[in-house]
Amino acid sequence: MVSNAQIGSNRGPVQFHHIAMERAPRPLRDARALWRWYRLLRHVRPDVVSIGTPKAALLGLLAAQFAGVSARVYKVRGLRLEGARGAGRLLLWSTEWITCGAAHAALVVSPSLRNRLEGFRLAPPRKLRVLGSGSSNGVDLERFATRRSASAHTQPPADRDEVVIAFVGRMSRSKGVPELCNAFEALQSSGIASKLLLVGDFEDEVSREAVSRLSRQGLPVDVVGFVDDVRELYGRVDVLCLPTHREGFPNVVLEAAAAAVPAVTTRATGAVDSVIDGVTGVLVPVGDTSALVRALATLCADGTLRRRMGTAARQRVAEEFDRRRLWQLEGDFYLEIQSASTRSNRRRSSRP
C-alpha cells in the first residue's frame, strides 16, 4: 500500500508525498515508514495533520505527535476490530487506542460508529465529532440523478416485469453476500419475479461459491464485476440490498438514494445510519436471512411502496448528505481545529 500524504500549511501550497506501507504488520518496514513520516513532518511543519485508514493513521499520527504538530485529526471510517476475535481483536483494539490517543480529535463518519468508539473506550466523547448526519464525503446529487429520480420515481421501467435487486460493493462474507444469495434463492422458490444484479469483485471463496450455486440452479443472476461508474446501473435498479455486518457509513446507500432507489440494509454499525427504517428503506438484523427475505419480498410485491421510499430517500439525501454541505462542514471543522491549536500555542508561549 502507498499512502499519499496531502500536507497543507500556511507556509506554502499543497504538497504530495509518497510513503510506502503495507496493510499487514511489518515491524521493520513500519519502523522505517514511521521515521519517514517524522522526517517529512519535521520538514514541512504543517499546522494540521488529518489521516485516515488504520495503518496510515497509526504511524502518521504518532509521527505527528513526535514531530510536535499541534493539531492532529484521525478520520475514522470504520472499526476492523468489530469483525475480529481473540488476540487479533485485542491487537486491533490496542492500535486504535494508540491512534486515538495520538489525535486531538477524531472525525467519525457516522453517529453509530461514534457510539462504538465510546463503547469500546477508545476515545473520550470530547474527542469525537460527527459532521451533520455523517458520511465520509456526502454524495454528488447531480451525478447520481437518473430519469427515474428526476421524475420522482413514478414509473417503473417499461421493458421488464421482474424487480431488480442490486448489490454494489466488495463481494465478501462481511458484506453479507452469502445471506443475500440465500435470501434471493428463497424469493425465487416463492415465485417472486426478481433478478439479482451483483456489482463488484469477489473477495472470498465463500461468497464466490454462494453466487456460483445460484448460477448452477439457473436463477436470474447477473454478475458484472467491478464498475468504475455505476450511475447507469442505478437507473435499472429497483432495490439496493446491502446485508453488511459492519460499516463506517455505506456510500452506496447514499448513491442509490440520490437515484431514488430504496435500500434494504442491516442494523450494523454505520449501516443503521444510512436508512430511516420504513421511510427510505428497510433495516433488518445482521445475519438474519429470514428477515432479509421478508423485507425484500415486501418491496418486490409493492411498487408503490418502492417508489414512495425512493422519493423519500432522494429527499433525505438532498437535505442531509449533499456533498457541498459536507465539504463546508468539514472546512469549518478544520478551521476550528487550527484556531484552537493556535490559541493553545499562544497560551503556552505566554507562560513564564
pLDDT greater at residue 10 or residue 308 = 308
333 and 253, same domain (yes or no): no
For residue 273, the enclosing domain spans: 141-320
Give yes or no: residues 119 and 195 share one domain.
no
Residue 109's DSSP bridge partners are none
Distances (CA, A) of 57 to 69, 77, 115, 218: 14, 11, 20, 46
Same domain, 36 and 71: yes
262 and 328 share one domain: no
The reported pTM is 0.87
Are 115 and 152 part of one and the same domain? no
pLDDT tens per residue across span 232-279: 889 899 999 999 999 999 999 999 999 999 999 999 999 999 999 999
Write down the pLDDT at residue 338: 85
Do 314 and 327 lie in one domain? The reply is no
- Residue 133 shares a structural domain with residue 148: no
| Pairing between β-strand 128-130 and β-strand 105-108 as defined by DSSP bridges | parallel
Number of domains in the chain: 2
Question: For 79-123, how does the pLDDT look when each residue is reduced to its tens digit (9 = 90+)?
Answer: 989 988 899 999 999 999 999 999 999 999 999 999 999 999 999
pLDDT at res. 22: 66
Per the prediction, the chain carries an average pLDDT of: 89
Are both 215 and 106 inside the same structural domain?
Answer: no
Q: Are residues 86 and 204 in the same domain?
A: no
Looking at residue 231, what is its pLDDT? Answer: 87
CATH code: domain of residue 179: 3.40.50.2000
The pLDDT-based confidence of 350 (bands split at 50, 70, 90) is low
For residues 58 and 145, state if they share a domain: no
Q: What is the distance between the alpha carbons of residues 256 and 272, in angstroms, rounded to a whole number?
A: 15
